């Protein structure tokens, strides 16, 4: 053998041996841990957790940047996507075994000028390994590892499974991962409904998802889409005529990226996030690790009704501008004197701002930073319009003052018998104001909404009835404790308890407190399971204590709940990414009997006086409801306005006020009957009009059998007199609809996050095994289509399944 030939064979065999050695070393983890076949079958790709409404509507997600993905099954991916992918990225995908020798050699000899050599399977391996080094030597090692994983994938998974896993893993730019999220974000569609030209846009982005992003570079994206269409023609996936026609059409996007500020019920989702974290903190995964809401692809099923949520937000948006206009018309707000003696509030807000923190990190002194807050600058501020913002020029200091002068609200709706929360509004705009005013921790003075709970105890434990006579006069509880503090609203008359409640009489309520006892009343509130500890002062009869709207809903559940106190709850179950139930929630564990059904019924009948001829006069008749009950509430100087109302099927509570209590509406528009009640009314108008919700105007409270039922005697007493609201404020009137300024339609804050044309998937408590469309098990799971082939390996790359098909 010639010397040159021997040298050639030495080099060839040495190179081949070196390559084999490198492959063996890489496979056994010398160059970094290699995933096992089991890990490939169940890849630990970060996956966003998804929140679903009661009807299966996707409400939003929790995710990290790389974790914003939602897996989908092969059968739920449009053939247009599959065809575009194979034609563009790997024409011989169905013919090779993971490595395309022809493409690899072409890439080597042309230095990549005529295309790369990576197959779809290799690209998937790269994604699974999280590789992408720019160092030539490191990249060579990575390439070997990709080959090994690609061959393992091909030997143990079908081609369909590989494509599915690939499309669920790859990035599409804008921190969007997976074909499902890409389809939803760019076209507001599920991936099984993508048209040819839409699929071509998304597949085109895979080459360089920034360069070919149609939102950032529309011309480049159009050119790249047409390249993909050309490849589909060349591979006979579409006809030449269709290809030519589609190339001549523009890209039509329907772009809406999901983030924490959009989706359904953004305030609620923040509360839900904390609740889920707290629920899962003591629950371990099968491998012994803790669940991560941002990475583990959980499915969180809630009790929220999407239509009720929209109606609640619309009701808030239709009424709050009226109140804000009235507030801003006040002299102290117009001339800025409202902030006299309160500059410390603005100073604290400045120092808590990102602007202050960033400038402090840059080394500026406090004096220098403060000076920047008095320089006018272009900015966006919250405004009551369809965009909920407007562009303006003002100083950051004035911006802080402006935003703190905005009235806030909280509105909750729930089923009073089960405690299932149907709607949750925690403020006027989540993007601008993150503080949720409906949750357990945010407490405000409750005013006269406390009175029905006192009256309930008097009926249950002291033998009072709606006809029991009470005296409307100031009461002395000893030690200088006079309730109320002034006799201004005390009439001195004797009236029935029903009349006292309908008119919200402070002095008569103090009389009832005297019969019940402050300590006994706080003990009763504790028996209702209200978590906040309330001190036994006589003034709590008039609501001189702070509670959250959540707690008030909890307390009021006894009326529509037939005597049972029920904690509001909003999660029905939590599943892992494979559809296994981690935890199921049952309302009965948070429900206990607090008063008799007869007392609850009589209170419901008595509280109807409020909405018929009391401090919310005419509400029931305007809504056309057969039975409805409620209570208004206003605290000192109108700092808080409340309305708690319920029907046999729904309980709703509204709070209105500014975060700074010294900012308030000073006229009678600030009273609970005019500030808070209209939101409740507007919501129920929409709910009653929507027949699909099943909320019936003719529904009645269930009358207990064999119980003495009292008629509501307040009607006859009060028809001839003008209701003076006592704790609701002096000279208050409830007003009429024409007193309110007509506002342009603003619409709900919640926005759909999936294609609205796709029928919603029902999810009820009677169908606990219901799952949303999409991949709830890893590729290769028992119910995946097509089935993963059985039979794994003894050798380096695993044993090839002879029955496995390539297409």
Tens-digit pLDDT profile for residues 314-362: 999 999 999 999 999 999 999 999 999 999 999 999 999 988 988 898 8
Please give the average per-residue pLDDT across 249-266, as a whole number. 84
Output the pLDDT for position 87. 93
Q: Selecting from 3.40.50.2300, 3.40.710.10, 3.40.50.620, 3.30.420.10, what CATH number does the domain 408-565+590-730 have?
A: 3.40.710.10
DSSP state of 761: P
> 166-175, 450-459, 576-585, 737-746: lowest mean pLDDT where?
737-746
Give the confidence band of 19 by pLDDT, cuts at 50, 70, 90: low
Identify which has the larger pLDDT, 83 or 101: 83
Tokens 């429900």 -> residue: 591
Flag whether pLDDT at 89 surpasses 50. Answer: yes
Give the confidence band of 787 by pLDDT, cuts at 50, 70, 90: very low
Helix axes 597-606, 549-560, angle to 10 degrees: 110
Which pair of tokens denotes residue 494? Answer: 């004797």
Flag whether pLDDT at 470 surpasses 70. Answer: yes
Question: Kind of pairing, strands 443-445 and 482-483?
Answer: unpaired
> 262-271, 399-408, 610-619, 661-670: lowest mean pLDDT where?
661-670
Task: Using CA atoms of 105, 107, 111, 113 in order, give the dihedral in degrees to the nearest 10.
Answer: 140
The widest CA-to-CA distance across the chain, in whole angstroms, is 127
Output the pLDDT for position 37. 56
Flag whether pLDDT at 760 surpasses 50. Answer: no
Q: How many Å apart are CA 585 and CA 574, to the nearest integer?
A: 9
Q: Residue 117: what are its φ and ψ, rounded to 5°?
A: -105, 0
Per-position DSSP letters for 252-275, written without gaps between them? --------TTSSS-HHHHHHHHHH
Please give the average per-residue pLDDT across 196-220, as a whole number. 92
Q: How many Å apart are CA 381 and CA 412, to the nearest integer?
A: 26
Per-position DSSP letters for 144-168, written without gaps between them? HHHHHHHHHHHHHS-HHHHHHHHHH
Helix (H) or strand (E) holding 672: helix 672-675
Q: How many Å apart are CA 679 and CA 654, to the nearest integer?
A: 7
Strand partners for 300: 51, 574
Please give the C-alpha separations between residue 373 and each of 66, 138, 405, 536, 771, in angstroms, as whole numbers. Answer: 36, 50, 18, 46, 51
Q: How many Å apart are CA 235 and CA 229, to the nearest integer?
A: 10
Output the pLDDT for position 71. 82
Contact of 205 with 255, CB cutoff 8 Å:
no
The total of other beta-carbon atoms located within 10 Å of residue 182's CB is 29
CA 292 to chain centre: 18
The total of other beta-carbon atoms located within 10 Å of residue 244's CB is 12
Express each pLDDT in 21-40 by its tens digit. 555 555 555 555 566 555 55
Give the confidence band of 305 by pLDDT, cuts at 50, 70, 90: very high
Q: How many Å apart are CA 162 and CA 263, to the nearest integer?
A: 31
Strand partners for 301: 52, 573
Give the confidence band of 99 by pLDDT, cuts at 50, 70, 90: confident
Q: How many Å apart are CA 306 and CA 284, to the nearest integer?
A: 32
Output the pLDDT for position 681. 97
Q: How many Å apart are CA 245 and CA 169, to the nearest integer?
A: 31
Give the confidence band of 752 by pLDDT, cuts at 50, 70, 90: confident
Q: How many Å apart are CA 423 and CA 442, to the nearest integer?
A: 17
Q: Residue 344: what are its φ and ψ, rounded to 5°?
A: -65, -30
Output the pLDDT for position 132. 54
Which pair of tokens denotes residue 470? Answer: 């009470």
Q: Do domains 69-258+777-807 and 408-565+590-730 have the same CATH topology?
A: no
Flag whether pLDDT at 719 surpasses 90. Answer: no
Contact of 93 with 150, CB cutoff 8 Å:
no
Strand partners for 630: 645
Task: Using CA atoms of 715, 719, 721, 727 in order, give the dihedral in degrees to the nearest 10.
Answer: 40
Q: How many Å apart are CA 724 and CA 504, to the nearest integer?
A: 8
Please name which of 534, 537, 42, 6 lies closest in space to residue 286, comparing C-alpha atoms: 42
Give the confidence band of 587 by pLDDT, cuts at 50, 70, 90: confident
Please name which of 558, 586, 559, 564 lies closest in space to residue 573, comparing C-alpha atoms: 586
Output the pLDDT for position 771. 37
> 101-110, 348-357, 684-693: lowest mean pLDDT where?
101-110
> 192-201, 301-310, 633-642: lowest mean pLDDT where?
633-642
Flag whether pLDDT at 79 surpasses 60. Answer: yes
Identify which has the larger pLDDT, 787 or 107: 107
DSSP state of 789: P
Identify which has the larger pLDDT, 573 or 165: 573
Give the confidence band of 258 by pLDDT, cuts at 50, 70, 90: low
Q: Which residues contact 15 (CB under 8 A, 6 or more apart)?
A: none
Domain locations in the chain?
1-33, 69-258+777-807, 408-565+590-730
Percent of the residues in the chain that have a pLDDT greater than 90, as a whole number:
60
Contact of 299 with 574, CB cutoff 8 Å:
yes
What end-to-end distance do the CA atoms of the chain give, in Å?
Answer: 47
DSSP state of 767: -
Residue 467's SS3 state is coil
In degrees, rounded to 5, the angle at the alpha carbon of residue 766 between the alpha carbons of residues 761 and 767 is: 45
Contact of 46 with 64, CB cutoff 8 Å:
yes
Percent of the chain as helix, strand, coil, to the nearest 5: 40, 10, 45
CA 62 to chain centre: 9
Please name which of 609, 616, 598, 613 lies closest in space to residue 465, comparing C-alpha atoms: 598
Output the pLDDT for position 777. 32
Contact of 801 with 161, CB cutoff 8 Å:
no
Strand partners for 632: 643
Give the confidence band of 785 by pLDDT, cuts at 50, 70, 90: very low
Question: Kind of pairing, strands 629-634 and 641-646?
Answer: antiparallel
Output the pLDDT for position 619. 96
Flag whether pLDDT at 298 surpasses 90. Answer: yes
Output the pLDDT for position 8. 66
Output the pLDDT for position 272. 97
CA 686 to chain centre: 22
Output the pLDDT for position 739. 35
* pLDDT, mean over the chain: 83
> 38-42, 180-184, 203-207, 328-332: lowest mean pLDDT where?
38-42
Identify which has the larger pLDDT, 727 or 250: 250
Q: How many helices (H) does the chain have, and how many strands (E)? A: 29, 20
Strand partners for 654: 411, 643
Q: How many Å apart are CA 425 and CA 412, to the nearest integer?
A: 6
Output the pLDDT for position 135. 55
Flag whether pLDDT at 299 surpasses 70. Answer: yes
The total of other beta-carbon atoms located within 10 Å of residue 579's CB is 15
Output the pLDDT for position 330. 93
Please give the average per-residue pLDDT across 430-441, as a whole number. 94
> 80-89, 137-146, 691-700, 744-753: lowest mean pLDDT where?
137-146
Q: How many Å apart are CA 614 and CA 498, to the nearest integer?
A: 10
Identify which has the larger pLDDT, 725 or 670: 670
Flag whether pLDDT at 559 surpasses 80. Answer: yes
Give the confidence band of 489 by pLDDT, cuts at 50, 70, 90: confident
Contact of 543 with 635, CB cutoff 8 Å:
yes
Q: How many Å apart are CA 232 and CA 537, to the nearest integer?
A: 79
Express each pLDDT in 218-249 by its tens digit. 999 999 999 999 999 999 999 999 999 999 99
DSSP state of 715: H
Contact of 438 with 412, CB cutoff 8 Å:
yes
> 17-31, 256-270, 623-637, 663-677: lowest mean pLDDT where?
17-31
Output the pLDDT for position 764. 40
Output the pLDDT for position 310. 97
Please give the average per-residue pLDDT across 700-728, as a whole number. 62
Output the pLDDT for position 12. 63
Output the pLDDT for position 103. 60
DSSP state of 741: P
In degrees, rounded to 5, the angle at the alpha carbon of residue 73 between the alpha carbons of residues 202 and 157 is: 100
Q: Residue 564: what are its φ and ψ, rounded to 5°?
A: -95, 135
Flag whether pLDDT at 395 surpasses 80. Answer: yes
Output the pLDDT for position 803. 39
Please give the average per-residue pLDDT across 411-422, as a whole number. 97
Q: What is the CATH topology of the domain spanning 69-258+777-807?
A: Penicillin binding protein transpeptidase fold (1.10.3810)
Which pair of tokens denotes residue 502? Answer: 């309908």
Flag whether pLDDT at 720 surpasses 60. Answer: no
Q: Residue 57: what are its φ and ψ, rounded to 5°?
A: -65, 130
- HSE, side-chain direction, 13 A CA sphere, residue 432: 22
């Amino acid at each position: 053998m010639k010397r040159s030939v021997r040298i050639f064979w030495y080099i060839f065999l040495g190179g081949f041996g070196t390559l084999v050695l490198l492959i063996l070393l890489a496979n056994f983890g010398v160059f970094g841990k290699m995933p096992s076949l089991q890990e490939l079958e169940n890849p630990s790709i970060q996956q966003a957790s998804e929140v679903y409404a009661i009807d299966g509507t996707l409400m939003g997600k929790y995710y990290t940047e790389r974790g914003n993905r939602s897996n989908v099954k092969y059968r739920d991916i449009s053939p247009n996507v599959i065809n575009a992918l194979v034609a563009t990225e790997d024409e011989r995908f169905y013919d090779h075994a993971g490595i395309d020798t022809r493409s690899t050699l072409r890439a080597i000899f042309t230095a990549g000028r005529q295309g790369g050599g990576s197959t779809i399977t290799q690209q998937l391996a790269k994604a699974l390994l999280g590789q992408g080094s720019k160092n030539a030597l490191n990249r060579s090692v990575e390439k070997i590892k990709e080959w090994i994983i690609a061959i393992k994938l091909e030997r143990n998974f079908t081609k369909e499974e590989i494509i599915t896993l690939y499309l669920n893993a790859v990035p599409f730019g804008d921190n969007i991962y997976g074909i499902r999220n890409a389809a939803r974000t760019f076209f507001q569609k599920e991936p099984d409904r993508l048209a040819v030209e839409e699929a071509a846009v998304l597949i085109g982005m895979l080459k360089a998802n920034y360069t070919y992003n149609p939102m950032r570079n529309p011309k480049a994206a159009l050119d790249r889409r047409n390249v993909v269409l050309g490849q589909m023609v060349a591979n006979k996936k579409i006809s030449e005529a269709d290809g030519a026609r589609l190339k001549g059409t523009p890209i039509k996007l329907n772009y809406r990226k999901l983030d924490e500020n959009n989706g359904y019920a953004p305030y609620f989702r923040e509360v839900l996030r904390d609740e889920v974290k707290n629920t899962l903190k003591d629950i371990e995964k099968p491998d012994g690790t803790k669940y991560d809401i941002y990475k583990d692809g959980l499915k969180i099923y809630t009790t929220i009704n999407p239509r009720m949520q929209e109606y609640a937000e619309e009701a808030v948006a239709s009424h709050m501008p009226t109140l804000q206009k009235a507030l801003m018309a006040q002299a102290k707000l117009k001339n800025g004197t409202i902030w006299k003696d309160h500059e410390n509030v603005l100073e604290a807000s400045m120092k808590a701002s990102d602007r202050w923190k960033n400038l402090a990190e840059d080394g500026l002194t406090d004096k220098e930073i403060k000076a920047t807050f008095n320089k006018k600058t272009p900015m966006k501020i919250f405004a009551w319009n369809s965009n909920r913002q407007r562009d303006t020029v003002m100083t950051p200091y004035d911006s802080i003052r402006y935003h703190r002068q905005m009235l806030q609200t909280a509105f909750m709706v729930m089923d009073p018998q089960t405690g299932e929360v149907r709607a949750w509004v925690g403020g006027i705009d989540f993007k601008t104001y993150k503080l949720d005013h409906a949750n357990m921790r945010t407490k405000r003075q409750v005013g006269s909404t406390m009175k029905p709970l006192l009256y309930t105890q008097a009926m249950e434990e002291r033998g009072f009835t709606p006809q029991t006579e009470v005296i409307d006069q100031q009461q002395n509880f000893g030690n200088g404790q006079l309730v109320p503090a002034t006799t201004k609203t005390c009439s001195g008359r004797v009236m029935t308890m029903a009349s006292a409640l309908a008119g919200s009489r402070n002095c008569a309520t103090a009389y009832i407190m005297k019969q019940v006892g402050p300590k006994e009343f706080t003990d009763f509130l504790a028996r209702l399971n209200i978590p906040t500890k309330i001190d036994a002062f006589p003034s709590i009869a008039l609501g001189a204590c702070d509670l959250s709207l959540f707690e008030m809903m909890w307390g009021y559940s006894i009326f529509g709940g037939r005597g049972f106190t029920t904690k509001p709850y909003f999660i029905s179950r939590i599943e892992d990414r494979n559809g296994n139930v981690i935890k199921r929630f049952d309302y009965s564990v948070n429900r206990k009997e607090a008063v008799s059904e007869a007392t609850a019924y009589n209170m419901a009948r008595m509280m109807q006086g409020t909405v018929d001829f009391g401090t919310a006069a005419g509400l029931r008749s305007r809504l056309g409801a057969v039975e409805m009950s409620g209570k208004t509430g206003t605290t000192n100087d109108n700092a808080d306005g409340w309305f708690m109302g319920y029907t046999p099927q729904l309980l709703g509570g509204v709070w209105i006020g500014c975060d700074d209590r010294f900012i308030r509406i000073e006229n009678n528009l600030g009273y609970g009957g005019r500030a808070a009640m209209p939101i409740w009314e507007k919501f129920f108008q929409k709910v009653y009009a929507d027949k699909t919700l099943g909320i019936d105007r003719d529904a009645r409270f269930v009358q207990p059998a064999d119980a003495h039922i009292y008629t509501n005697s307040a009607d006859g007493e009060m028809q001839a007199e003008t209701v003076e609201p006592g704790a609701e404020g002096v000279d208050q009137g409830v007003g009429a609809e024409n007193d309110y300024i007509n506002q342009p339609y603003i619409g709900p804050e919640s926005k759909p996050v999936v294609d609205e044309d796709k029928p919603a998937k029902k999810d009820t408590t009677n169908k606990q095994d219901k799952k949303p469309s999409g991949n709830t098990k890893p590729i290769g799971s028992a119910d995946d289509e097509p089935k993963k082939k059985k039979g794994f390996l003894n050798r380096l790359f695993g044993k090839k399944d002879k029955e496995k098909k390539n297409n």
